[in-house]
Structure 1
Amino acid sequence: MIEIPDQFKEKFTGLLGQEEAGKLLDSLAEPSKKAYRINSLKEGAVVYSQEEAVPGIPNAYYGGVSGKDPEWTAGMVYSQDPAAMFPAQAIPVKPGDKVLDLCAAPGGKSTALAQKLQGEGLLVANEISPSRAKILRENLERWGVSNAVVTNCDSFALSARFPGFFDAILVDAPCSGEGMFRKSEDAIKYWSQENVDLCADRQREILTEAVKMLKPGGYLLYSTCTFSPEEDEEIVSWLLDEYGFKLLPIAAEKAAPGRPEWGNGDASLANCARFWPQDGVGEGQFVASLQKAAGEESFAAEAGEVFSPVRKNKDKKKKGKGKNKGNRSSLERPSKEESCYISEAIAGFNWPESLASWPSQMLKSQDHVFVPALEPEQLKGIKVLNNGLELGILKKKRFEPSHQLAEVLGQVDQERVVDLTEEEYDHYLHGESLQVNSSLKGFVLVSCRGMIFSFGKLSGKGQLKNYYPKGLRQ
Structure 2
Amino acid sequence: MVKLPEEFKNKYTHLLGQEESERLFSALNLPERKAYRINQLKIDTNISYDQSKPIPNLTASYYGEIDGTDPEWVGGSVYSQDPSAMFPATLANVQPGEKVLDLCAAPGGKTTKLGESLAGKGLLVANEISATRVKALRENLERWGIDNAVVTNNDSFALAKVFPEFFDTILVDAPCSGEGMFRKSEDAVNYWSQDYVMTCQARQKEILQEAMKMLKPGGKLVYSTCTFSPEEDEQIVAWLVAKYNLQIQKLPLENTTGISYGHPEWTEQKLSDLQNTLRFWPQNNLGEGQFLAVLKDQRKQEDTVLVSPKKQQRKRNNVGKGKLSKEEIDYVSKVIEKFNLPEQLSSWKTLALNSNDHIFIPALDPKRLKGLKIINNGLELGIMKKRRFEPGHQLAAVLSNLPQTETVELIDKKQYDSYLHGETLQISNKLNGFVLVSFQQKIFSFGKMTGNKQLKNFYPKGLRK
1:68 pairs with 2:69: yes
| Equivalent in 429, 443, 446 of residue 438 of structure 1 | 429
Cα contact 1:439–1:460 (8 A) shared by 2: no
CA–CA separation in structure 2 for the residues paired with 1:35 and 1:300: 42
CA–CA separation in structure 1 for the residues paired with 2:305 and 2:31: 47
CA–CA separation in structure 2 for the residues paired with 1:42 and 1:62: 20
CA–CA separation in structure 2 for the residues paired with 1:376 and 1:351: 24
Alignment of 1:263-412 (within 5 A): 263=267, 264-295=269-300, 306-314=312-320, 331-412=321-402
Cα contact 1:164–1:300 (8 A) shared by 2: no
Cα contact 1:34–1:82 (8 A) shared by 2: yes
Distance verdict in 2 for CA 1:278–1:302, change over 3 Å:
same
CA–CA separation in structure 2 for the residues paired with 1:347 and 1:112: 29
Distance verdict in 2 for CA 1:310–1:87, change over 3 Å:
closer
Cα contact 1:162–1:301 (8 A) shared by 2: no
Cα contact 2:262–2:274 (8 A) shared by 1: yes
1:27 deviates by 0.3
Query: 1:148-188: CA deviations, max 9, x gaps?
Result: 00000000000100011000000000000000000001100
CA–CA separation in structure 1 for the residues paired with 2:146 and 2:301: 33
1:251 deviates by 3.2
Alignment of 1:69-108 (within 5 A): 69-108=70-109
Percent identity, aligned pairs only, is 57
Query: 1:90-112: CA deviations, max 9, x gaps?
Result: 11210000000000000000000
State TM-score, norm by structure 1. 0.94
Q: Structure 2 unaligned runs (5+)?
A: none
What is residue 326 of structure 1 aligned with on the other side? none
What is residue 12 of structure 2 aligned with on the other side? 12
Distance verdict in 2 for CA 1:306–1:82, change over 3 Å:
farther
Cα contact 1:363–1:369 (8 A) shared by 2: yes
User: Could you say what secondary structure the match of 2:275 adopts?
Assistant: helix
Quick one: which amino acid aligns to residue 139 of structure 2? E
The alignment's C-alpha RMSD in Å is 1.5
What is residue 321 of structure 1 aligned with on the other side? none
Cα contact 1:165–1:301 (8 A) shared by 2: no
Quick one: which amino acid aligns to residue 317 of structure 2? R
Quick one: which amino acid aligns to residue 260 of structure 1? P
Cα contact 1:307–1:375 (8 A) shared by 2: no
Distance verdict in 2 for CA 1:303–1:175, change over 3 Å:
farther
Cα contact 1:306–1:374 (8 A) shared by 2: no
CA–CA separation in structure 2 for the residues paired with 1:215 and 1:447: 42
1:220 deviates by 0.5
1:352 deviates by 1.5
Q: Structure 1 unaligned runs (5+)?
A: 315-330
CA–CA separation in structure 2 for the residues paired with 1:48 and 1:449: 13
1:360 deviates by 1.5
Cα contact 1:173–1:223 (8 A) shared by 2: yes
1:303 deviates by 12
1:307 deviates by 3.9
User: Could you say what secondary structure the match of 1:145 adopts?
Assistant: coil
Cα contact 1:361–1:371 (8 A) shared by 2: yes
1:419 pairs with 2:423: no
What is residue 120 of structure 1 aligned with on the other side? 121
CA–CA separation in structure 1 for the residues paired with 2:20 and 2:201: 24
What is residue 463 of structure 2 aligned with on the other side? 472
User: Could you say what secondary structure the match of 1:407 adopts?
Assistant: helix
Quick one: which amino acid aligns to residue 403 of structure 2? D
User: Could you say what secondary structure the match of 2:132 adopts?
Assistant: helix
1:345 deviates by 1.7
State TM-score, norm by structure 2. 0.96
User: Could you say what secondary structure the match of 1:360 adopts?
Assistant: helix
Distance verdict in 2 for CA 1:171–1:300, change over 3 Å:
farther
Greater shift after overlay, 250-259 or 82-91?
Answer: 250-259
| Equivalent in 246, 255, 272 of residue 259 of structure 2 | 255
Distance verdict in 2 for CA 1:100–1:416, change over 3 Å:
same
What is residue 26 of structure 1 aligned with on the other side? 26
CA–CA separation in structure 1 for the residues paired with 2:265 and 2:98: 35
1:457 pairs with 2:411: no
1:294 deviates by 2.5
Cα contact 2:316–2:364 (8 A) shared by 1: no
Cα contact 2:217–2:303 (8 A) shared by 1: no
Query: 1:255-307: CA deviations, max 9, x gaps?
Result: 10100111221100000000000111100000001000122666879999554
CA–CA separation in structure 1 for the residues paired with 2:428 and 2:67: 28
CA–CA separation in structure 1 for the residues paired with 2:342 and 2:41: 10
1:311 deviates by 2.5
1:461 deviates by 2.4
CA–CA separation in structure 2 for the residues paired with 1:125 and 1:295: 26
